[in-house]
Amino acid sequence: MKTRRRSIAVYGQYGGQPCVGSAFETQSCEPTQGCPTEEGCGERFRCFSGQCISKSLVCNGDSDCEEDGADEDRCEDSESRTSCDIDKPPPNIELTGNGYNALTGQFRNRVINTKSFGGQCRKVFSGDGKDFYRLSGNILSYTFQVKVDNDFNYEFYNSSWSYIKHTSTEHTSSRKRSSFFSSSSSSSHSYTSSFNEIYKKKSYQLLVVQNTVEVAQFINNNPEFLQLAEPFWKELSHLPSLYDYSAYRRLIDRYGTHYLQSGSLGGEYRVLFYVDSGKVKQSDSVDEKTCTSSDFHFLYKSSEQKCKELEEAVKLASGNEKNVLRGVPFVRGGGSGFIAGLSFLQLDNPAGNRRRYSAWAQSVSRLPQVIKQKLTPLYELVKEVPCASVKRLYLKRALEEYLDEFDPCHCRPCQNGGLATVGDTQCQCHCKPYTFGVACEQGVLVGNQAGLWSLSLHCLTFLTGEGTVFPVGKNIVYTCNEGYSLIGDPVARCGENLQWLVGEMYCQRIACVLPELANGIQSQPHKPFYSVGEKVTLSCSGGMSLEGPSSFLCGSSLKWSPEMKNVQCVQKGMWFLCLLKDSCSQASGGLCGDLHGSVPPSQ
């Protein structure tokens, strides 16, 4: 398949038109060169699609060839065996295999095969549903545990500029790209377009109300043990072995930039309320910081006296005689019929607000979505295809080019110190307090020089130091030492303050390590790490005999089976030959002095 892509010559500037139509055009073709591949799957079973699976999965009663079921096609009744007495997976388990675009905050097509049980019969019990479910072979851990935060999180921002600056910092700390407003979740991405329309005419402040409901938590296996979803595997197989950004960019468009390493199934609720800055300014005595603490609950229950001023200010700024505050809801999970009821709040009816929220929260257990996800770059899943190592490198390179497409350097500067971001193919400005307009050109900038055009520092400033010089906005990638896998976002970004913006990350052990062995014990093979399924054999040197088992297997829990306890080297037999007394001084270790017992008859 030959792929051609239209690139963006000029991004739609403030108020400009977006690019329309598909960016891709494909055409069938015959490849002229490729990578040499071995015929068949060697020791493994080949599905009709060409994907390889373990022979142990053939005729086990499960369709481990995802789309064609070839592994169960020619099984006689005598050789077919049942792996488990239940086949029902947990609700919405297929969502744990989706790809994720960290720049748009959108979930993409499945990259992990969540339908294969891997020949295992692992069960998990749901106390809520009072039922057992069978876990996918790609799931390392799955727990039904309901977590509901009874206290809502309230935040008050004096401008969209403040909100984006705050969320950009949060994105960095939660392993996301700090310079992309839409990188945390789909709700953040959706916020951009609606917000841009509202701020064209007037300066607004933001009241953000949010909460989450968790019903289950999951951890996916390490990438080397994951079975790829068949459509994704086919796409990887058909990627060109020579670098073609259009082809790799199309894969990113379909499957995202990352896959899910872990996360929760549940629901996320966030509502953004736009409050007229001019009307809030009339209430100079309002202390927003105090009233965004746990004491500020007038939206869902009666508020404390010290927050009455903010309540009155919000009512005034809402501009609604019926005391109804309407906002823009971003809801993930739960029944769609409840979303309309979450889009407004009755300022004089906290009990009614809570009832509508509770109705949605109760529906989350039936219709959960993935929230609080931790991500791993998609290129980690490039495997079991021709030229896998080359394609993995090319996909990583394509992701860097993809990041550049969202760089605000494509935008003209915003006026009055506004912050530029890229959404889809358009540039948008986010304005400081008391300024507004498509380019923040209207209003009066408080505490700064009016009419000032902001420069894109990340395009002009360079971080200098010992060794390599990195431009602000440049990414570097961390990796873990052999035997460990990086969990979280491996990318650090050079920030505008000339500091590295590094998200939460850690190295998780994915291999077994030999404990400290007693003197004289040797291991074969001897290496620092052993993969799951590898065996090691212990032996003794110097004519000694091993006491205990000699062969050990690295299990999936990263523990040795059997345990390496009380393994030691002992002398062979019960009797030892004592050297003559005048020869002891020439023997190492004082052999005669260490002997005990009687001397056996000479032989």
Separation between Cα atoms, residue 539 and residue 572, nearest integer Å: 13
Give the pLDDT score at 445.
Answer: 73
265 close to 214: Cβ distance less than 8 angstroms: yes
175: left (phi over 0), alpha (psi -120 to 50) or beta: left
Greater pLDDT, 563 or 181: 563
Separation between Cα atoms, residue 121 and residue 144, nearest integer Å: 18
Q: Which of 5-14, 55-64, 88-97 has the lowest mean pLDDT?
A: 5-14
Is the per-residue pLDDT at 596 higher than 60?
no
pLDDT for 436-445, tens place per residue? 888 888 887 7
pLDDT for 346-377, tens place per residue? 877 888 888 888 889 889 988 999 999 999 99
Give the pLDDT score at 307.
Answer: 61
Alpha helices for 266-387 (secondary structure H): 277-281, 288-291, 308-318, 339-342, 350-363
pLDDT for 452-506, tens place per residue? 344 333 333 333 333 456 677 777 777 777 777 777 777 778 877 777 788 777 7
575 close to 595: Cβ distance less than 8 angstroms: no
Give the pLDDT score at 459.
Answer: 38
Q: Which of 67-81, 130-144, 271-285 has the highest mean pLDDT?
A: 130-144
From the options 1.10.150, 2.60.450, 4.10.400, 3.30.43, give the CATH code of 44-83. 4.10.400
% of the chain beyond a pLDDT of 90: 15
pLDDT band per the 50, 70, 90 thresholds, residue 449:
very low
Could you give the maximum distance between any two Cα atoms of the chain, in Å?
A: 113
Q: What CATH number is given for 457-509 in this structure?
A: 2.10.70.10
pLDDT band per the 50, 70, 90 thresholds, residue 107:
very high
Query: Count H helices, E strands: the chain?
Result: 12, 33
Within this chain, domains 44-83 and 457-509 share the same CATH topology:
no
Greater pLDDT, 399 or 67: 399
472 close to 456: Cβ distance less than 8 angstroms: no
Is the per-residue pLDDT at 514 higher than 70?
yes
Which residues are within 8 A (CB) of 303 and not within 5 positions of it... i.e. 6 or more apart? 291, 295, 296, 297, 311
Separation between Cα atoms, residue 422 and residue 406, nearest integer Å: 5
Peptide bond into 525 cis (omega under 30): yes
Average pLDDT, the chain: 75
pTM: predicted TM-score of the whole model, two decimal places: 0.65
Give the pLDDT score at 405.
Answer: 79
301 close to 358: Cβ distance less than 8 angstroms: no
What is the DSSP code string of 489-517?
A: --EEEE-TTSSEEE--EEEEE-SB-PPPP
Separation between Cα atoms, residue 110 and residue 218, nearest integer Å: 16
Give the pLDDT score at 35.
Answer: 53
Separation between Cα atoms, residue 442 and residue 14, nearest integer Å: 13
Q: Which of 3-17, 429-443, 444-458, 533-547 has the lowest mean pLDDT?
A: 444-458
Tell me the residue type at 105.
Answer: G
Beta bridge partners of 436: 442
Give the pLDDT score at 188.
Answer: 40
309 close to 358: Cβ distance less than 8 angstroms: no
Q: What is the helix (H) or strand (E) element at residue 193, kind and residue range? A: helix 186-198
Give the pLDDT score at 446.
Answer: 67
Separation between Cα atoms, residue 112 and residue 231, nearest integer Å: 10
DSSP 12: B
Beta bridge partners of 375: 260
- E strand intervals along 191-257: 204-220
CA 298 to chain centre: 35
Give the pLDDT score at 256.
Answer: 94
Give the pLDDT score at 408.
Answer: 78
Separation between Cα atoms, residue 561 and residue 557, nearest integer Å: 10
Pairing of strands 544-547, 568-571: antiparallel
State the burial class of residue 461 (Cβ atoms within 10 Å of its Cβ: 0-12, 13-18, 19+). Answer: middle
pLDDT for 78-97, tens place per residue? 566 777 888 889 888 999 99
Cα three-residue angle 441-447-450, rounded to 5 degrees: 30
Separation between Cα atoms, residue 211 and residue 342, nearest integer Å: 12
The encoded tokens of residue 267 equal 């629901």
pLDDT for 114-134, tens place per residue? 988 988 899 998 877 678 999
What is the DSSP code string of 393-445?
A: HHHHHHHHHHHHHT-GGGSPPPBTT-EEEEETTEEEEEPPTTEESTTS-EE--
Q: Where in the chain are the domains? A: 44-83, 150-213+267-369, 457-509
Give the pLDDT score at 439.
Answer: 85
Beta bridge partners of 352: none
218 close to 114: Cβ distance less than 8 angstroms: no
Is the per-residue pLDDT at 544 higher than 70?
yes
Is the per-residue pLDDT at 320 higher than 70?
no
Q: Which of 21-30, 443-452, 534-543 has the highest mean pLDDT?
A: 534-543
What is the DSSP code string of 17-40?
A: PPP-S-SEEEE----S------ST
Separation between Cα atoms, residue 333 and residue 267, nearest integer Å: 4
Which residues are within 8 A (CB) of 406 and not within 5 positions of it... i.e. 6 or more apart? 103, 180, 422
45 close to 53: Cβ distance less than 8 angstroms: yes
Give the pLDDT score at 159.
Answer: 77
Separation between Cα atoms, residue 446 and residue 584, nearest integer Å: 94
Give the pLDDT score at 493.
Answer: 80
Dihedral Cα 350, 353, 355, 359, nearest 10 deg: -160
Give the pLDDT score at 24.
Answer: 64
190 close to 343: Cβ distance less than 8 angstroms: no
Is the per-residue pLDDT at 150 higher than 90?
no
Give the pLDDT score at 316.
Answer: 64
Separation between Cα atoms, residue 112 and residue 126, nearest integer Å: 24
402: left (phi over 0), alpha (psi -120 to 50) or beta: alpha
pLDDT band per the 50, 70, 90 thresholds, residue 170:
very low
